[in-house]
Structure formats: C-alpha cells, structure tokens
Amino acid sequence: MVAHSISLAAGNVQEFPPAEMVSAAAAAGFDHTGIWVEPAEWSTDTTREVRRRRDDTGIDVLDVEVIWIHAGQPTDDLKRIIDIGGEIDAGYGLVVSSDEDDEGTKRVFAELCDHARGSGLTLVLEFLPITAVRSLDQAVNIVTDVGRSNGRVLIDTLHLARTGGTVDAVKGLDSALFPYLQIADAPLSAPGTDYDSLLHEAVDGRLLPGEGELPIGELLRVLPGGLALSPEIRSKVLRDRYPEITDRARAIADATRRFLAALS
C-alpha cells in the first residue's frame, strides 16, 4: 500500500491554543495539522504565532474547522474562518450544515466556495448523522449540484458507518471528490440510533485505528494511494489518559502508523 501522510485533526486537541497544535503535531511525528478556529478568539498574534511555529517545524496546515452553516444566519464568521485559513496557508476548510433545506445549504456552500477562492482554500462538506447532511449521497449531490471547482466531500469513517454508507458506495464514485480522509475506529454496531447516543460516540467514544471493527483498510484500498489521512479520535479515554497535548498527539500518531504498517 502506498504510504499515507497523516494530520493531527484539530478535534483531538480542541481545548488547546492553535499554535500548540502545530508544535504538538511536529513533536508527535505528524506530517500536517488541523487548526480549530474560534473567530471571536483569533487575533493577528494568533496568526503570527501559528505561522512562526509552522515555519519552524515544517508542519503545514491541512485544514481549518469548523465552518458550520445554520439556516438564516449571517456568513460573516464563516468567511472569517476561511480568511484565517488563507492567512495560515491551510489547504482545506471543513464545512458542516444544520440547514434542513438542501437548497439553503447549496446556496451558502456556493457562496463560501466563491469566497474561498481568494484564500486558496478548497472547502470540504462533511456528512454526519447528527447534522442536516446525513449521508454520503446527500453530500455528493449537494457538492455536485453546487459545481464549484474548490468544493469537495469529506468522509469520516465513523460517520460513513453510522449513516449506512459502505466501501462499495465510495468505490462507485469519482475519487477526485475526496481530497483527504478522516479516520476513526468503532464497533460495527452503533451504541444507539438516537441523537444523544450518536453525539456521545462522535465526541467522546471514538477508538484508535485498529481497535474497532470498521473497514478502514478496505476503504483505503478503493481510494487513491497516498491520500492524506486525518485520524480524528475524539475520546474521553484519551483525554483522561493524556491530558498533555503532545502525549495525546503522539498516542494517536503512533497508533495510526502501526495500523497503516499492518496494512502493508
């Protein structure tokens, strides 16, 4: 199997300052990092420090998150996250939507993609069972209908499983739709189908790659070799076991590298 680069997903270390995410990713052996952006808390000093640490470590920024669409709400903060992504040379902006009207999501996603051209970002629409975009097909249809060259789809292996998606369904689609992949493991069976159970698993109950039963390896085999991987292991167990950012990042990086080596 072709080697994959790996990125520290910002959600793994969301409680820490953005610049520390860069340093932790480098110390843990990641190739890239994600950055969590809170527009109200972000300053020119934040941008300067993230860029400095990026330059010092050689760690580039894979994505910024989270660009969250809400029906009828202004897009100023969403565009600010995109602009920040441009300032720190991120490759992608991660978008989710809580607008139950697909046409509303399309309008805003198109607006954001057009805005992102000036920052050089590609926007990826993520689907998950606890938002309004709840399936792979729905996300693909929205992005395809919007038709922007810098609009793509993000697959998270946990969300793919919990929304009924399959490896065969992904195999049947244009792989260019998927510029990178979030990975997390879990049991095949969901802890429940209600909102609270799915939310708890997504933010507290994820497993490291290889600890569960999801077909991560099979999915990697049907997607282009060398695709960047962002292990998003949001886990109360990991937060409790590794309260220090670099220790947590290293645990995730080491487990991911072991998992990928076992696939070779």
pLDDT of residue 1: 52
Task: Quickly state the pLDDT bin for 226 (edges 50, 70, 90).
Answer: confident
Tell me the per-residue pLDDT of 133-187, one tens digit each, with 9 for 90 and over. Answer: 999 999 999 999 999 999 999 999 999 999 999 999 999 999 999 999 999 999 9
pLDDT of residue 225: 86
Tell me the per-residue pLDDT of 28-69, one tens digit each, with 9 for 90 and over. Answer: 999 999 999 999 999 999 999 999 999 999 999 999 999 999
| 217-229 residues labelled b (16+ CB within 10 A) or e (exposed) | eebbeebeeebbb
- This prediction has a pTM of 0.96
Measured CA to CA in angstroms, residue 123 lies from 43, 107, 185 at distances of: 22, 14, 24
Residue 121 to residue 90: CA distance in whole angstroms: 7
Residues whose CB is less than 8 angstroms from the CB of residue 172 and which lie 6 or more positions away in sequence, other chains included: none
Q: Considering the chain, what percentage of its residues have pLDDT values greater than 70?
A: 99
Task: Quickly state the pLDDT bin for 3 (edges 50, 70, 90).
Answer: confident
Domains, the chain:
7-263 (3.20.20.150)
Task: Quickly state the pLDDT bin for 2 (edges 50, 70, 90).
Answer: low
